[in-house]
Amino acid sequence: MTAANATGKVRVATASLAGCFGCHMSLLDIDERLFELLERVDFDRSPLTDIKHCGPCDIGLIEGGICNAENVHVLREFRRNCKLLIAVGACAVNGGLPAQRNHLDLGQCLQEVYLTAPGIVGGQIPNDPELPLPLDKVHPIHEIVRIDYFIPGCPPSGDAIWKFLSDLLDGRTPRLGHPLLHFD
């Protein structure tokens, strides 16, 4: 495990890419154990703070797959700022539900959604420079950056996240047994 910061606590950050935010909800589902966790960690960017950009951290938890250029940028910046990076959930681990579009041609998909879907009249495919450029395929995050650990699940349970973080903070190699791993 990494060394604690000046406060004696490990610095932790989270980020979300292409997914449903369910893994962050599972982090919050550790419920009252959050108070125990806060005795040992300081949160940087997370659903518990209003910090928009990650600073240097010991542990980064990231959920979601990579579906556009902005996701790639956010992931690479997050990786640079985290000593350990943990892929959380099926989208981060293998692309998850967003990767279901990988068997479709992106151009045909955009045409169907914006030009020919029932009820569309005079539609157009969005072409604003403010919108991130979509990638042809959705990728799991390990295809873009090095990942230190994986927590599978859709989403992983709060108990699984708690066990994983507790093991890591106690200097043990994190191990999740069968009862903590599920996909529902």
**Arithmetic mean of pLDDT, 91-97:** 95
| pLDDT for position 3 | 52
| pLDDT for position 157 | 93
| pLDDT for position 7 | 73
Q: What does the block give as tokens for 115?
A: 């030009």
Q: pLDDT over 70 for what percent of the chain?
A: 95
| pLDDT for position 5 | 59
pLDDT beyond 80 at 39 = yes
pLDDT beyond 60 at 73 = yes
pLDDT beyond 60 at 2 = no
**What are the residues whose beta carbons fall under 8 Å from the beta carbon of 77, sequence distance 6 or more?**
53, 54
Alpha-carbon span 156 to 164, nearest angstrom: 11
Domain ranges of the chain: 10-101+134-178
Q: pLDDT over 90 for what percent of the chain?
A: 71
pLDDT band at 1 (very low <50, low <70, confident <90, very high): low
| pLDDT for position 184 | 58
Least confident of 9-13, 70-74, 115-119, 159-163: 115-119
Q: Is beta strand 10-16 parallel, antiparallel or unpaired with respect to 41-43?
A: parallel
The pTM (predicted TM-score) of the whole model is 0.88
Alpha-carbon span 139 to 6, nearest angstrom: 37
pLDDT beyond 80 at 144 = yes
What is the fold of 10-101+134-178?
Rossmann fold (3.40.50)
